[in-house]
Amino acid sequence: MSVSKIEDLKVFKNSHELTLEFYRITKHFPDDEKFGLTSQIRRASSSICANLMEGSHRNNRKEYRQFVGIARGSIGELKYHLLLSKDLGYVNNDQYNILIKKINEISKMLYGLTKSLEKTDTRTDSSHSQNSKGVL
């Protein structure tokens, strides 16, 4: 990757902004959701950036890709929690539509990052297999 640090990636910046937005929104959730849905939403949203950051500090791209996969799982979880929040009346339709659009955009970016890391692994894996056979 040509990016020197994970914080410079658009997917990281957008995910961080989304996390901040969910923290603001969940402040207005009912008190009895403090340890339920509020906690789940905050955990899932912050998990996206946390996994991107952790993965970028791992030993190799394969491990990095694994953490991007975990971030993709978190965005899926967040998507459901947003739907539930809307259906419970904690988030109105306008908020839902804005947030789901952002979630879907980030989801696509994470998928692209995963594919980018797979391409890199393929080149790395083939050079390792050639070396082990003594071709190089």
Helix axes 37-56, 10-26, angle to 10 degrees: 160
Render each residue's pLDDT in the chain as its tens digit; 136 residues: 444 689 999 999 999 999 999 999 999 999 999 999 999 999 999 999 999 999 999 989 999 999 999 999 999 999 999 999 999 999 999 999 999 999 999 999 999 999 998 876 544 443 333 333 332 2
Tokens of 107: 């989801």
Distance CA 68, CA 56 (A): 9
Q: Specify the pLDDT at position 119.
A: 78
Q: Specify the pLDDT at position 69.
A: 96
Please name each of the domains of the chain with its CATH number.
Answer: 6-132 (1.20.1440.60)
